Amino acid sequence: MELSKSPDGPQQAPFGISFFTSTRRRFFATVTLILLVGGLVGYYAPRTLPQIIKPALAQGTRDYTLVIQGKDIQEGSTATWHAWTYNGTIPGPTLHGKVGEIFRVTVINNLNLKHSFHTHLAPYSFENDGSQANVLTGIGAAGMISPSGSYVYQFQLTEAGLFYYHCHSSDGGYMINQHILQGLYGAIVVDKPDTPPVRDNTIFMAEIGFNVAGTGAPGFIMNGIGIPGGETTLEQIFSTSGLAGVVDQFNKTVPAFKANVGETIRLHIVNIGNLYHSFHLHGTNMVSQWYFPGRIWPANVVQLLPGAADSVIIQPQFTGVWLFHCHVVNHADAGMIGVLQVV
**CATH number of the domain that 151 lies in?**
2.60.40.420
* pLDDT exceeds 80 at position 26: no
* pLDDT exceeds 80 at position 64: yes
* Cα–Cα distance measured from residue 139 to residue 129, given in angstroms and rounded to the nearest whole number: 10
Domain membership flag for residue 138: yes
Q: Answer with the one of 195, 229, 248 that is the final residue of a domain.
A: 195
* pLDDT exceeds 90 at position 24: no
- When pLDDT is cut at 50, 70 and 90, the band that residue 1 belongs to is very low
- In terms of domains, do 73 and 147 share one? yes
Domain membership flag for residue 54: no
| Mean pLDDT score, 9-22 | 40
Domain membership flag for residue 145: yes
- When pLDDT is cut at 50, 70 and 90, the band that residue 44 belongs to is very low
Q: Is the Cβ–Cβ distance between 253 and 76 less than 8 Å?
A: yes
Among 17-21, 133-137, 163-167, 228-232, the range scoring the smallest mean pLDDT is: 17-21
Domain membership flag for residue 12: no
- In terms of domains, do 84 and 178 share one? yes
Q: Structural domain tally of the chain?
A: 2
Q: Answer with the one of 143, 167, 195 that is the final residue of a domain.
A: 195
* pLDDT exceeds 50 at position 258: yes
Domain membership flag for residue 88: yes
- In terms of domains, do 265 and 146 share one? no
- In terms of domains, do 175 and 265 share one? no
- In terms of domains, do 165 and 258 share one? no
* pLDDT of 214: 95
| Domain span at 129 | 61-195
What value does the mean pLDDT of the chain take?
A: 88
% of the chain at pLDDT higher than 90: 82
- In terms of domains, do 164 and 113 share one? yes
* pLDDT exceeds 90 at position 219: yes
* pLDDT of 76: 85
* pLDDT of 202: 98
Q: Which residue has the higher pLDDT, 55 or 108?
A: 108
